[in-house]
Structures are given as structure tokens and as C-alpha cells.
Amino acid sequence: MLKNKLSPGYSLIEIIVVISLITILGYFISLSFNVLKNETILSKEDKINSMENEISQIKSKSLSQGKIISYSIEDELFQINAFKECSIKSNKNKKVYISSSGEVSPFQFDCIIGNKMWTFYMNRLGKVEVYETK
């Protein structure tokens, strides 16, 4: 009669494969949680580009409708994703007007980017610039 000489435990190869699979799965799970937890942190230039793109789209909308479009700065414009985390210092300009010719009523505003406060100025052409006191 033949006796079964197999050991009741696992082989070293099986243990290494299981540990490797657990390690790889753990890496991908932690990576996915980090991606979900951290929102995309934009640089100052990325924020400016996204704001200018948004204004450009509003200009196109104004041109297609053939009329001046007005937005309440705090209640409407700053609710758009490109202008999130922004606020306006003085409330003397409560609205921004965008004409079908592409002209924008200029205003100054502050935005938080990467835990730092930046002051911006939007000029008549809808271009956003970093406001620096001289």
C-alpha cells in the first residue's frame, strides 16, 4: 500500500503567491482611496486657464444670443466650477456683464488655490491676471 506523503500544510510557493496578491490588491486599494480623497489641486495657471475658458464660453453664448448676458458675481458666477473657492472683496460690482462683442465688465476678486489666497483681476477682454499692487 502506498502512503500519502503529502504534508497537511501549504507549500512555500503557495504562501508567496498569496502574500504577493494581497500586497498588490492592497496597493491598488490604497491608491484608489487616495485618488478619491484628494481632489485635483490646480495650480494658479490651471485656475486662470479654466476661468478664461469659462468666460470664453459665456462670450460665445452671448454672441449666439446677440445680447448682453449678466451674472451676479457671488450668486451665479462664483458657483461655476472654474470660480469655486473665489470671493469678491468689495460689493460695489455685484454683476458682471458680458456683451456680444466679447467685452467683459472688469472686476477684482480673490481665490484660494492650494491653501494660499491669490488676488485676480479680470480685464475688459475677459483675461484673468494676478493682481499685484505697485
Which among 82, 107, 87 is positioned nearest to 96, based on CA atoms?
Answer: 107
d(CA 107, CA 97): 10
Q: Report pLDDT digits (tens) over 44-93.
A: 888 889 889 998 998 888 888 888 888 888 888 888 888 888 888 765 77
Find the helix or strand (DSSP H, E) in which 112 lies.
Answer: strand 107-113
Residue with the larger pLDDT of the pair 48 and 40: 48
